[in-house]
Amino acid sequence: MFKYTFSNKRYHTLDYFYKYKFNSKVFKVSLNAGFTCPNIDGTVGRGGCIYCSNLGSGEYAGDSKDDLVTQFNKIKDMMLKKWPNAKYIGYFQAHTNTYAPLDVLKEKYETILKLDNVVGLSIATRPDAISEECLNYLAKLNKNTYLTVELGLQTIHENTSRLINRCHTLKCFEDMVKKLRKHNINVVVHIINGLPYETKEMMIETVKYLNTLDIQGIKIHMLSILKNTKLAKIYEQEKFKTLSREEYINIVCDQLEYLRPEIVINRITGDPKVDDLIEPNWLIKKVTILNDIDKEMVRRNSYQGIKIKGIL
C-alpha cells in the first residue's frame, strides 16, 4: 500500500492530504477577483501566455461581475449538496492574484478568510509578480491561516517558454520558490504536458528538476487548445502534434515515478470546458483518464517516487 493513500491511488492526492491535515472533507472555492496580469498589460509582455483564455485560466472561477462573497457562496452552496460538512479554501484562481496594490490584496484575501469554515487560501500567481511588500504580507498571513501560493512554471525549457510567451525566466521562478519557502509558505507548481514541440523526455526533465526543489505540491495539466487564443491560431497554421490519450497517461505515470512521495498531486489532468475546446477531444473524459492512470500504475506495480527510491 502506498503510504499517502486510503484508496487505490498510488500517488499523493490532494483529497488525502486535506483529510489528513484537517480531519474533514475540504474543497477549494474558485474565485475571480478581477485582477489582470503583467503579461497582458504590457509590464512584461502583451497578450498573455498563448494558451490562456480571456478568463485567465479561471474557467471554473466565480463570475467577476459578482463580489467575492457572492461568488464564494454560489459555489459553496453547490458543493455543499455533495459534501454537507465540508470546510473550504478560498482559491484565487483567475489571472495573477498578487498583481495589485497591497491594500487591495489585503481587502480581497481577508474578506474570504472571515467567512465561516474557511481554513485557508490558495493564491495562483506568477513568480515575477510578488513584490517584497506582498511577500512580507504573505509571510504574516501564513502564520494565521493555511496558505498556498501556486506558481505557473509550465516547463523548464527556455525555447518553449519563449514560444508560449511566458515572459519570466527559470531563475526568476527558482528564486521565488526559495523566497516563499524561506517564510515557510507552501508552494504548488503548475506544469503543462504536450506543449508544442516538446518531447516526452523534455516533459520528464521538467518533473525531475522540480523534484530537486523544496515544493509541496504540483499540478499536472494537459495542453488544451482553446478557441479564441493565440495557441488556436498557431495550431490552425502549423498543426503541431498533440499528445494522444495513451501518450499522456504514459508520460504522467513516468512523471509520478520521479516525484518525491510527499509532494501532493493537486491535479493530474486538464479540465477544459467542452464548448471552448478545439483539441484534444479526449480531455473531456476526465474520469476515465484518472481511472486509466490508476490502472497503468497498477499494471506497472508502481508508485509515486519509485524511481527515486530505487525499488520496484
Helix (H) or strand (E) holding 278: strand 277-279
Helix (H) or strand (E) holding 276: none
Percent of the chain with pLDDT over 70: 96
Rounded Cα distance, 205 and 212, in Å: 11
Lowest mean pLDDT among 163-167, 194-198, 212-216, 260-264: 163-167
Chain segment 210-258, per-residue pLDDT in tens? 999 999 999 999 999 999 999 999 999 999 999 999 999 999 999 999 9
- The pair phi, psi for residue 234, each rounded to 5°, is -65, -45
At residue 279 the predicted structure's pLDDT band, cuts being 50, 70 and 90, is very high
Q: Looking at the domain assignment, is residue 38 inside a domain?
A: yes
Burial readout 73-106 (b: 16 or more C-beta within 10 A, e: otherwise)? eebbeeeeeeeeebbbbbbbbbbbbbbbeeeebe
Residue 221: the pLDDT is: 96
pLDDT at 60 over 80: no
Residue 118: the pLDDT is: 97
Look over the chain and give the mean of its residue pLDDT values, rounded to a whole number.
Answer: 93
Residue 178: the pLDDT is: 98
Instruction: Look at the chain and report how many structural domains it folds into.
Output: 1
Residue 196: what residue type? P
Can you give the CATH number for the domain in which 48 is found? 3.20.20.70
Q: Looking at the domain assignment, is residue 7 inside a domain?
A: no
Residue 61: the pLDDT is: 63
Q: Looking at the domain assignment, is residue 6 inside a domain?
A: no
Q: Looking at the domain assignment, is residue 1 inside a domain?
A: no
Place of cell 525549457: 157
- Higher pLDDT among residues 77 and 53, named by residue: 77
Q: Looking at the domain assignment, is residue 8 inside a domain?
A: no
Average pLDDT over residues 51-66: 69
Residue 302: the pLDDT is: 96
At residue 58 the predicted structure's pLDDT band, cuts being 50, 70 and 90, is very low
Give the domain range for residue 45.
Answer: 14-303
Q: Looking at the domain assignment, is residue 234 inside a domain?
A: yes
pLDDT at 56 over 80: no
Please list the residues that pair with 17 across neighbouring strands: none
Lowest mean pLDDT among 40-49, 238-247, 261-270: 40-49
Q: How many helices (H) and strands (E) does the chain have?
A: 11, 9
Q: Looking at the domain assignment, is residue 226 inside a domain?
A: yes
pLDDT at 311 over 70: no
Cell readout for 108 is 480581497
Chain segment 288-301, per-residue pLDDT in tens? 999 999 999 999 99
Q: Looking at the domain assignment, is residue 285 inside a domain?
A: yes
